[in-house]
Amino acid sequence: MKRLLILALLCTACAENDPSTTVDEDEVNYTFEDGFETSGNELSELFPNDDSRWTNIQQVDPDNGNNEINLESSTVLAGSSSLRIYAEASNNILSKADIEKGGFSAPEGSTIKITANFYIASTANIENLLLIDLECCSCWDPEVPDNQCPGIRLMMKENDFLSIERGKILGSTIVQSAVAFPRNVWVNVVWELALSSDNNGMNKLYINGQEVISESGMNMPNADLFRAEFAKNGIDFELQVPLYYERFQIGATANPTQDDIELFIDDVKLEIK
Ligand SMILES: [Ca+2]
């Protein structure tokens, strides 16, 4: 579906461009930014039909719970509104509340940089809270049921050390202990990745401008690792090519904690080069 969409977008671009201009598929230069400003203070304005802003809402309420996603005007970094996320504690249902931007293509070899500002309005233990997921769904073998949309995530580890979690691509978590995530204040996060399915990848994380992670290593699914992992259960898994990340989610992409969490997000930017 997503690949069809991308193909459709490419074809639209072809039709509208000067016919003499050829599209270089290796050239990646994409920027998306959103400060959650609207004209009518309606959340739906963030999700226009042309997908020029956000493309989806993901909200999974815990049993008897009621998560919330809305525009906020009192806790704002810039402009007159931010995005408010309220994700209740998980019970037998994993609680989620986030928004998604899809429809881009960040292939292996490109650099993707996600900048976002978070305000976590809580002093509760938020270990294992997930703030950003970067994913490919088109890379999943269509003949193996339940597409897991593999990718990497920003996850809070113990003592508020934001970390790069790679479990969905069969990798270890890249942890740091340089900066504990401040609470009840705006925090600038920059996550920069030179994308690779092997050890040539580069993983960087900055908190309020301070580099807290700079470590080489894979940050995309690796065909050999997936093949070997599924082979343990007798499943023939073929990672699909071309390999590219195509969507990211931001918010409480999962709140596995025992506490309700309220957070705010403002001025999000995605750059692919
Ligand atoms: Ca704003």
Q: Is residue 72 part of a domain?
A: yes
CB 201 within 8 A of CB 107: no
CA angle centred on 221, ends 34 and 126, rounded to 5° = 55
Tell me, what CATH number does 69's domain have? 2.60.120.200
Strand 151-157 versus strand 161-165 pairing type: antiparallel
Q: Is residue 15 part of a domain?
A: no
CA of 72 from ligand 1 middle (Å) equals: 9
Q: Is residue 11 part of a domain?
A: no
CA of 36 from ligand 1 middle (Å) equals: 5
Please state the domain count of the chain: 1
End-to-end CA distance of the chain: 24
**Cα–Cα dist 211/162, whole Å:** 12
CA of 20 from ligand 1 middle (Å) equals: 40
Q: Is residue 34 part of a domain?
A: yes
CA of 205 from ligand 1 middle (Å) equals: 23
Q: Quick: pLDDT tens for 196-251.
A: 999 999 999 999 999 999 999 999 999 999 999 999 999 999 999 999 999 999 99
Phi first, then psi: what are they for 230, rounded to 5°? -75, -30
Q: Is residue 3 part of a domain?
A: no
By C-alpha distance, which of 74, 8, 12 is closest to 266?
74
Q: Quick: pLDDT tens for 25-65.
A: 556 899 999 999 999 999 999 999 999 999 999 999 999 99
Q: Is residue 192 part of a domain?
A: yes
By C-alpha distance, which of 86, 113, 76 is closest to 204?
113
Q: Is residue 14 part of a domain?
A: no
CA of 149 from ligand 1 middle (Å) equals: 29
**Cα–Cα dist 84/262, whole Å:** 7
CA of 187 from ligand 1 middle (Å) equals: 14
Q: Is residue 219 part of a domain?
A: yes
Phi first, then psi: what are they for 154, rounded to 5°? -95, 120
CA angle centred on 191, ends 90 and 101, rounded to 5° = 65
Domain residues for the domain of 110 are 28-272
